[in-house]
Amino acid sequence: MESQVNPQTAAAIEVSELRKVYGDKPAVDGLTLRVERGRFFGFLGPNGAGKTTTIRMLMGLAPPTSGSIEILGHRMPGDHLAIKSKIGLVPDDTLLFDHLTGSEFVEFVGRMYGLGRDVSRHRTVELMKLFELDGAGRKLIGEYSKGMKKRVAMAAALIHRPELYLLDEPFEGVDAVGARLMKDILLDQVAQGATIFLTSHVLEVVERLCDRVAIINQGKLVVEGSMHELRSGSETLEDIFVRVVGGPARAAESLDWL
């Protein structure tokens, strides 16, 4: 059944009291969050905080234990086909097909999103060249480096020009030149009205790219706002992150021999 929310005016992402429990342990515990359209939104947290679980629920790969999810005005899971046609995914584990070449995979994704054969093939050639993967030729994805896999995943995410990008550690393993290219492309997509929902452990990158940030810890939302709203004095995003999630004891205090 279609959501009654107008998809043209709704937020890009809206989740309410979202929970995901594995056994008796909540990985995500009562998350309520709204991401407006046209944002470059950073979703941060320490290891095991629930970031990837949240992304997997937004992707439709993991059903929530309870709570609600709306993507671009469509409610999950009821409107999952309408949602999937409008999002581009770069998951943490990439979910690529190791026995395809990069070109075959990107073209396949284009066809899955309903692009005609010629359009999908033409865009694949352009994207592979843009991401400097055209030299890989007949090399199978299983033989790619981690950085190459991230670049081909990004190419596949772009091929149908989605309205929303869900990116889980997209720069992991990517060299400086490739990462700069990916950042420029994503900033251009936001300038054209797309929404980016990004997780990354590289806080300097998030600080430069994102106009709004949420931090979760132990499955719960700790803080959310713009950098200006979150900052106290001259704090960096790293300072804010450590302040709200709690940092480790200083090495000099815990190990006197250091």
Chain segment 28-43, per-residue pLDDT in tens: 999 999 999 999 999 9
SS3 annotation, the chain: CCCCCCCCCCCCEEEEEEEEEECCEEEEEEEEEEECCCCEEEEECCCCCCHHHHHHHHHCCCCCCEEEEEECCEEECCCHHHHHCCEEEECCCCCCCCCCEHHHHHHHHHHHCCCCHHHHHHHHHHHHHHCCCHHHCCCEHHHCCHHHHHHHHHHHHHCCCCCEEEEECCCCCCCHHHHHHHHHHHHHHHHCCCEEEEECCCHHHHHHHCCEEEEEECCEEEEEECHHHHCCCCCCHHHHHHHHHCCCCCHHHHCCCC
Query: How far is residue 5 from each of residues 18, 33, 36, 83, 85, measured CA to CA in Å?
Result: 19, 17, 14, 13, 18
pLDDT above 90 for 255? no
pLDDT above 70 for 15? yes
pLDDT above 90 for 78? no
Percentage of the chain modeled with pLDDT above 90: 69
pLDDT above 50 for 219? yes
In which residue are the tokens 């320490």 written?
46
Q: Considering only CA atoms, which of 18, 16, 15, 8 is closest in space to residue 72? A: 8
pLDDT (0 to 100) of residue 201: 87
- The beta-carbon contacts of 78-82 under 8 Å, at least 24 apart in sequence, are 78/1, 78/2, 78/3, 79/2, 79/3, 82/2, 82/7
- Least-confidence region, from 11-15, 61-65, 88-92, 103-107: 88-92
Within 8 A by CB and 6+ apart from 176, the residues are none
Give 131-181 pLDDT, tens digit per residue.
999 888 789 999 999 999 999 999 999 999 999 999 999 998 899 999 999
pLDDT above 70 for 232? yes
For domain 13-86+162-254, the question of CATH label 3.40.50.300 is answered with yes
pLDDT (0 to 100) of residue 60: 86
If you average pLDDT over residues 216-224, what whole number do you get? Answer: 94
Confidence label for 1 from pLDDT (cuts 50, 70 and 90)? very low
The model's pTM: 0.89
Domain ranges within the chain, ordered by starting residue: 13-86+162-254
Higher pLDDT, 55 or 247: 55
Confidence label for 252 from pLDDT (cuts 50, 70 and 90)? low
pLDDT (0 to 100) of residue 2: 45
If you average pLDDT over residues 117-126, what whole number do you get? Answer: 96
Phi, psi of 179 (to 5 degrees): -65, -40
If you average pLDDT over residues 4-33, what whole number do you get? Answer: 87
